[in-house]
């Protein structure tokens, strides 16, 4: 295969009813591209947690997926409150989630930590009152 696949999905902040829809769509795409199960799972988790972060905290956002022969790149950009202390936000268990988010089983403070754990390369930048930008790279581990 010598192609690059691209997909961009919009995610609406606060729309909990649809939480996970973008991730499931991306997972289907990756399955169709014959991505290996372990890589597929890591990518799906990273995208799902990213999607939930946009829905939980931002006004809106976008997930950009690029798949090439070597890696899966996920670029997540949102417009929202941003993160004041990134180091603190990365700590497992730290959360600013509302009761509503917690009632759905999320907001345990594992989101960013999970995303980083699933990534081979992970970058985060954020500007308060502007938004947050995640760059997630997952190696495909083969050249299929």
Partner 1 sequence: MTLGEVVKVLDAKLLVGEDRHLAIEVKTAFSADLMSDVLAFAKSGSLILTGLTTPQVVRTASILDAIALIIVRGKTPPQDTLKLAHELDIPVLSTNYILFETSGRLYANGIVGCVEKIGGINNSKL
C-alpha count within 13 angstroms, C-beta hemisphere, residue 134: 31
64 CB contacts (<8 Å, ≥6 apart)?
6, 7, 8, 74, 75, 76, 77
Does position 13 interact with partner 1 (CB under 8 A)? The reply is: no
What SS3 state is found at 135? strand
Q: Look at the alpha carbons of 51, 139, 90, 111 in this order and tell me if their dihedral is positive or negative.
A: positive
Q: Which is nearer to partner 1, 60 or 117 (CB)?
A: 117
Give the total residue count for the chain: 144
Closer Cβ to partner 1, 111 or 131, answer by number? 111
- Of 1-9, 45-53, 62-70, 131-139, which part binds partner 1 (CB under 8 A)? 45-53
User: In angstroms, how far is CA 2 from the centroid of its own chain?
Assistant: 25
Among 9, 29, 33, 45, contact with partner 1 (rule: CB under 8 A)? 45
Residue 44 binds partner 1, judged by CB under 8 A: yes
> How many residues touch partner 1 (CB under 8 A)?
29
Q: Which residues pair with 123 in a beta bridge?
A: 135
Residues 76-135 that bind partner 1 (CB under 8 A): 92, 103-111, 113-114, 117-118
Residues that bind partner 1 (CB under 8 A): 16-17, 19-21, 23-24, 27, 37, 41-42, 44-45, 48-49, 92, 103-111, 113-114, 117-118
């Amino acid at each position: 295969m010598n192609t690059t696949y691209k997909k961009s999905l919009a995610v609406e902040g606060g729309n909990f009813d649809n939480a996970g829809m973008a991730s499931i769509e991306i997972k289907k795409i990756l399955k169709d591209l014959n991505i290996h199960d372990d890589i597929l799972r890591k990518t799906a988790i990273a995208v799902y947690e990213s999607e939930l972060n946009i829905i939980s905290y931002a006004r809106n956002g976008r997930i950009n997926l690029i798949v090439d022969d070597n890696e899966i790149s996920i670029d997540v950009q949102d417009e929202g409150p941003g993160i004041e202390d990134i180091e603190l936000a990365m700590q497992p268990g730290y959360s600013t989630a509302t009761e509503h988010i917690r009632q759905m089983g999320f907001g345990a403070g594992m989101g960013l930590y999970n995303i980083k754990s699933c990534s081979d390369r992970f970058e985060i930048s954020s500007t308060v009152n502007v938004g947050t930008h995640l760059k997630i790279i997952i190696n495909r581990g083969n050249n299929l």
